[in-house]
């Protein structure tokens, strides 16, 4: 059995054919381009000649509406309420199509192919925004509208900054890449290159005080959100992915320190926090797992990629 896995990001689309053995074949990646709909059609039709294709799984940048099969990726202004499931079905009719959020697919991919055969798992994507996904009791937990696990909008500071979601003091207002950059600039940071999170990381790794403080502040907020989530759901394993997490210990160390300080009970001190092992393919593996099981993820046996 082979499925088509599709990962829809803000700047690129990726697709691959994946079998039940977890092998990733014919991986293709295209920039979103001026017409994201055309890009999607090219990507899907290019994979449609695969024999014994039994389903399609899609992980998409949010917000998404799994009930309607629609996506509204913030970085693709032309897609608001875009019927991605119907669009894919038009190119490859007759196949079941399953949709979930990109961070949910990252969590599912890590659970299946990242060597994380745990009972439960929280996956967090730290990037332009902050997303998340939950594996509970061996199943991807989607929630009533399909947006469960969205840890970026857990409130960390009730007197904090307004968030694009309409809330106040969300984790994303402190720990996303652009939020870290904004805070560092307000503290007087003078970027050595571009005004972005990548340069912030470069400057921090060279020992600059304000960029280092920005990562400590973000890590502290993430650590607090993680122990709160762990307390609520009894999840003991956390995997961090996304572009900003590529800095490694610069972000991971303050997250772990905060989790140790604010995690009150004995149980919370056992929470493990690690970086993604699948990097940018975690979402593709997760989208494949969606399609292979149509929601029944416990049918798959976790194992290393």
* Residues 6+ away with beta carbon under 8 Å from 273: 223, 226, 238, 240, 252, 255, 256, 259
**Residue number, 62 or 286, with CB nearest to Zn ion:** 62
Judged on CB neighbours under 10 Å (0-12, 13-18, 19+), 168 is middle
**165 lies in the site for Zn ion, by CB under 5 A:** yes
**153 lies in the site for Zn ion, by CB under 5 A:** yes
Minimum distance of Zn ion from residue 296's CB (angstroms): 31
**167 lies in the site for Zn ion, by CB under 5 A:** yes
* Residues 6+ away with beta carbon under 8 Å from 128: 10, 74, 75, 176, 177, 178, 243
Q: What is the spatial distance between Cα 241 and Cα 237, in angstroms, rounded to a whole number?
A: 13
**Residue number, 105 or 156, with CB nearest to Zn ion:** 156
**178 lies in the site for Zn ion, by CB under 5 A:** no
**170 lies in the site for Zn ion, by CB under 5 A:** yes
**48 lies in the site for Zn ion, by CB under 5 A:** no
**Residue number, 173 or 245, with CB nearest to Zn ion:** 173
Site size with Zn ion, rule: CB under 5 A = 5
* Residues 6+ away with beta carbon under 8 Å from 153: 163, 165, 167, 170, 171, 172
**150 lies in the site for Zn ion, by CB under 5 A:** no
Distances (CA, A) of 116 to 113, 163, 283, 285, 290: 7, 32, 15, 13, 17
- Beta bridge partners of residue 122, listed in sequence order: 134, 238
From 44-52, 164-172, 208-216, 257-265, give the range in contact with Zn ion by CB under 5 A.
164-172
**Residue number, 153 or 256, with CB nearest to Zn ion:** 153
Minimum distance of Zn ion from residue 165's CB (angstroms): 3
Minimum distance of Zn ion from residue 13's CB (angstroms): 26
Minimum distance of Zn ion from residue 105's CB (angstroms): 21
Please give the residue ranges that form the binding site for Zn ion (CB under 5 A). 153, 163, 165, 167, 170
């Amino acid at each position: 059995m082979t499925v088509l896995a599709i990962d829809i990001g803000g700047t690129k689309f990726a697709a691959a054919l994946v079998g039940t053995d977890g092998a990733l074949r014919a991986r293709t990646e295209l920039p979103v381009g001026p017409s994201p709909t055309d890009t999607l059609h090219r990507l899907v039709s290019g994979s449609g000649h695969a024999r014994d294709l039994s389903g399609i799984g899609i992980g998409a940048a949010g917000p998404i509406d799994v009930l309607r099969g629609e996506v509204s990726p913030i970085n693709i202004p032309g897609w608001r309420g875009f019927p991605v499931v119907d669009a894919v079905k038009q190119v490859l009719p007759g196949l079941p199509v399953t949709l979930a959020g990109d961070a949910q697919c990252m969590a599912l991919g890590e659970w299946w192919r990242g060597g994380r055969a745990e009972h439960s798992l929280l996956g967090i994507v730290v990037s332009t925004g902050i997303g998340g996904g939950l594996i509970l009791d061996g199943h991807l937990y989607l929630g009533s509208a399909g947006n469960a696990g969205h840890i970026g909008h857990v409130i960390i500071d009730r007197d904090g900054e307004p968030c694009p979601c309409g809330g106040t003091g969300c984790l994303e207002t402190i720990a996303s890449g652009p939020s870290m950059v904004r805070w560092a600039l307000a503290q007087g940071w003078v970027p050595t290159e571009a005004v972005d999170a990548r340069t912030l990381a470069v400057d921090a790794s060279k020992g600059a005080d304000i960029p280092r403080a920005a990562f400590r502040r973000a890590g502290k907020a993430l650590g607090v959100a993680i122990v709160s989530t762990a307390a609520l759901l009894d999840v003991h394993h956390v995997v961090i992915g996304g572009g900003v997490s590529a800095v490694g210990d610069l972000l991971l160390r303050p997250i772990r320190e905060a989790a140790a300080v604010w995690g009150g009970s004995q149980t919370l001190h056992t929470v493990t926090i690690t970086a993604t092992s699948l990097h940018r393919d975690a979402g593709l593996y997760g989208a494949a797992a969606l399609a292979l099981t149509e929601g029944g993820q416990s049918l798959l046996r976790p194992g290393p990629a």
